[in-house]
Amino acid sequence: MLKEKILVADDEQSMREFLDIMLRKEGYKVSLASNGEEVIKLTEKDIFDLILMDIRMPRLDGISTLKKVKTIQPDAIVIMITAYASADTAIKAMKEGAYDYITKPFKVEEIKLIIKNALEKKNLQKENILLKQVVRDRYHFENILGRSSKMLDLYKMLEKVSPTKTNILITGESGTGKELVAKAIHYNSPRKEKPFVTLNCGAIPESLIESELFGHMKGAFTDAIATKKGLFEIADEGTIFLDEISELPLMMQVKLLRVLQDREFKRVGGTEDVRVDVRIISATNIDLEEAVREKRFREDLFYRLNVIQIKLPPLRERREDIPLLAMHFLKKYSEELNKNISVISPEALHILLNYDYPGNVRELQNIIERAVALESSQDLTAQNLSSYLSEQLPMKKGLIDLEIPNEGIDLEKIVEDLEKNLLLKALGKTKGIKKRAAELLHINFRSMRYRLEKYGLNQEEDSSAEAAGNE
């Protein structure tokens, strides 16, 4: 655990030594400065949680120092000390960003309480931000719902690994819910009250990723206008989730390896080592072992990250979960969009069950949201699904002009895919009424039923719809 850092600045040596002893006994890590210039130098080298500073100091007075400190470390809590109880001075200090002020002589218990309250307030603000993030994130927790055997196996694995400190690598296609699984691990672990921090390694420019992970000191590079903590420091005692870990540049892979081995790092432009206790969960949608063989990913880092691997199945390999997920999303978006839709029609469900979902659960969620937005009845019908899915199903434009490669083609499968796609399109146009769909395809009703049964699409009919179609 990182001790909270306090910088004490006073030109009186006896006062510095007294505060140093008192604060160390309280468990804080203390640095000392005798004047404003020393304060500036120290804040440029390290990050402090609180600064206790005399208003009257040589070389640079407390108010001027306060202004400068706030440009270097905007989040630092500064408490001013004065021997002169001047309201004007106090107000000026507060306007410049001071948290509070105390007057000499002060009672030891009084200053302890002020410091404790200031740090607790700062920590509470952090916790509130994290809590709001958790609440938002849990709205999407449904993406790992499922009753299939593969999902039951996943739940068992999560129960085993969540309480441990072990690094975890989550693999799976885009949209399978890798980040949500990482959050499930964190929030079911002993670290659940501590931060969960996320970085998409593919979304940060290579020139900025080191600063993002490890922080930087003011002036370390052109845009470093203030000292900043990195994500590893923010995640201390918690979890950091490195998504798209395969996108991490090779030079950063070396530096990440050091953090995994030594649990410490230096900020960009810094000279001091920062020690942290962070669990690392990483994720990728590519074959990392192949990347290792191709020298695009370090083998030693791969083994450090891949202590336990969790592979998420694509949605097409757990189709039995589609009705459960679809109904969950239907309820969610019906409430959000103020619609009164509570049923998915049999034909619509057939379409959902026979789609391959290259975008996995995320794509299913988007499909249902779009269909709910377009639906005007109290049932989710095939029409509002097929208008989207017909473009995604395995029938390509210009299929008649399909070239035959040297190794040949599977004619029966191509014809079946084409036939199934046209059946679904026809059902979509007729809102699931089979007789009218048969007429669109210029086949008789008996032939229509045979073909639907052939592809497992002919469930028990909606008698009212069928009766209307037979009139």
Please compute the mean of the pLDDT values over residues 81-100 and round it to a whole number: 75
- Looking at the domain assignment, is residue 137 inside a domain? no
Q: Clarify whether residues 302 and 433 are in a common domain.
A: no
pLDDT at position 204 is 87
Q: What is the average pLDDT score of the chain?
A: 83
Do 363 and 393 meet the contact criterion of CB atoms below 8 Å apart? no
Domain span holding position 73: 5-129
Do 292 and 298 meet the contact criterion of CB atoms below 8 Å apart? yes
Taking the C-alpha atoms of residue 158 and residue 185, their distance in angstroms, rounded to an integer, is 6
Single residue among 114, 129, 144 that ends a domain in this structure = 129
Q: Is the model's pLDDT at 263 over the cut of 80? A: yes
pLDDT at position 196 is 93
Taking the C-alpha atoms of residue 258 and residue 265, their distance in angstroms, rounded to an integer, is 8
pLDDT at position 100 is 85
pLDDT at position 192 is 87
Beta strands 196-200 and 239-243: pairing type?
A: parallel
Do 66 and 97 meet the contact criterion of CB atoms below 8 Å apart? yes
Amino acid code (one letter) for 444: N
pLDDT at position 470 is 41
Q: Is the model's pLDDT at 140 over the cut of 60? A: no
Beta strands 29-33 and 50-54: pairing type?
A: unpaired
pLDDT at position 458 is 67
Q: Clarify whether residues 371 and 429 are in a common domain.
A: yes
- Looking at the domain assignment, is residue 74 inside a domain? yes
Q: Beta strands of 303-421 (E only): which ranges? A: 308-311, 343-344, 379-380
Q: Which residues pair with 169 in a beta bridge?
A: 282, 309
Please compute the mean of the pLDDT values over residues 130-140 and round it to a whole number: 47
Taking the C-alpha atoms of residue 337 and residue 141, their distance in angstroms, rounded to an integer, is 20
Q: Is the model's pLDDT at 311 over the cut of 90? A: yes
- Looking at the domain assignment, is residue 238 inside a domain? yes
Single residue among 260, 291, 313 that ends a domain in this structure = 313
- Looking at the domain assignment, is residue 108 inside a domain? yes
Taking the C-alpha atoms of residue 415 and residue 150, their distance in angstroms, rounded to an integer, is 31
- Looking at the domain assignment, is residue 120 inside a domain? yes
Q: How far is CA 398 from the centre of its chain?
A: 41
Q: Which residues pair with 103 in a beta bridge?
A: 82
Q: Clarify whether residues 70 and 122 are in a common domain.
A: yes
Query: Tens digit of pLDDT for each residue in 180-194?
Result: 899 989 988 899 889
pLDDT band with cut points at 50, 70 and 90 for residue 20: very high
Q: Clarify whether residues 116 and 158 are in a common domain.
A: no
Q: Is the model's pLDDT at 85 over the cut of 90? A: no
Do 79 and 99 meet the contact criterion of CB atoms below 8 Å apart? yes
CATH number, domain containing residue 165? 3.40.50.300
Q: Is the model's pLDDT at 108 over the cut of 50? A: yes
Q: Name, in order, each residue with C-beta under 8 angstroms of 235's C-beta and a sequence gap of 6 or more.
A: 194, 195, 196, 197, 276, 278
366-385: b (≥16 Cβ within 10 Å) or e: ebbbebbeebeeebbbbbbb
- Looking at the domain assignment, is residue 45 inside a domain? yes
What's the DSSP call for residue 276?
-
Q: Is the model's pLDDT at 400 over the cut of 50? A: no
What's the DSSP call for residue 340?
-
pLDDT at position 464 is 36
Better-predicted residue by pLDDT, 169 or 110:
169
CATH number, domain containing residue 18? 3.40.50.2300
Taking the C-alpha atoms of residue 445 and residue 449, their distance in angstroms, rounded to an integer, is 6
- Looking at the domain assignment, is residue 135 inside a domain? no
pLDDT band with cut points at 50, 70 and 90 for residue 466: very low
Q: Clarify whether residues 226 and 356 are in a common domain.
A: no
pLDDT at position 447 is 82
Taking the C-alpha atoms of residue 260 and residue 264, their distance in angstroms, rounded to an integer, is 8
pLDDT band with cut points at 50, 70 and 90 for residue 131: low
Count of the separate structural domains present in the chain: 3
Query: Tens digit of pLDDT for each residue in 329-374?
Result: 999 999 999 999 989 988 888 889 888 888 899 999 999 999 999 8
pLDDT at position 223 is 77
pTM given for the model: 0.61
Handedness of CA 391, 397, 399, 402 (dihedral sign): negative
- Looking at the domain assignment, is residue 136 inside a domain? no
Q: Clarify whether residues 350 and 286 are in a common domain.
A: no
pLDDT at position 128 is 59
Cis peptide bond prior to 323, omega within 30° of 0? no
Amino acid code (one letter) for 39: V
Taking the C-alpha atoms of residue 46 and residue 5, their distance in angstroms, rounded to an integer, is 9
Q: Where are the alpha helices (DSSP H) in 282-345?
A: 288-293, 299-305, 322-336
Among 326, 374, 330, 315, smallest CA distance to 350 is for: 326
Q: Clarify whether residues 85 and 208 are in a common domain.
A: no
pLDDT at position 136 is 43
Q: Clarify whether residues 172 and 302 are in a common domain.
A: yes
Please compute the mean of the pLDDT values over residues 420-434 and round it to a whole number: 84
Among 324, 418, 330, 422, smallest CA distance to 367 is for: 330
Length of the chain: 471
Q: Clarify whether residues 354 and 428 are in a common domain.
A: yes
Q: Name, in order, each residue with C-beta under 8 angstroms of 9's C-beta and a sequence gap of 6 or more.
A: 32, 33, 34, 35, 36, 38, 39, 51, 52, 53, 54, 57, 62, 65
Q: Which residues pair with 101 in a beta bridge?
A: 80
Q: Clarify whether residues 125 and 178 are in a common domain.
A: no
Query: Tens digit of pLDDT for each residue in 22-51?
Result: 999 988 999 999 999 999 989 888 888 899
Q: Phi and psi (nearest 5°) for 411?
A: -60, -45
Tokens representing residue 324 in the block: 């459960």
Q: Which residues pair with 283 in a beta bridge?
A: 170
Q: Clarify whether residues 167 and 115 are in a common domain.
A: no
Helix (H) or strand (E) holding 199: strand 196-200
pLDDT band with cut points at 50, 70 and 90 for residue 233: very high
Single residue among 313, 333, 361 that ends a domain in this structure = 313
Q: Clarify whether residues 244 and 298 are in a common domain.
A: yes
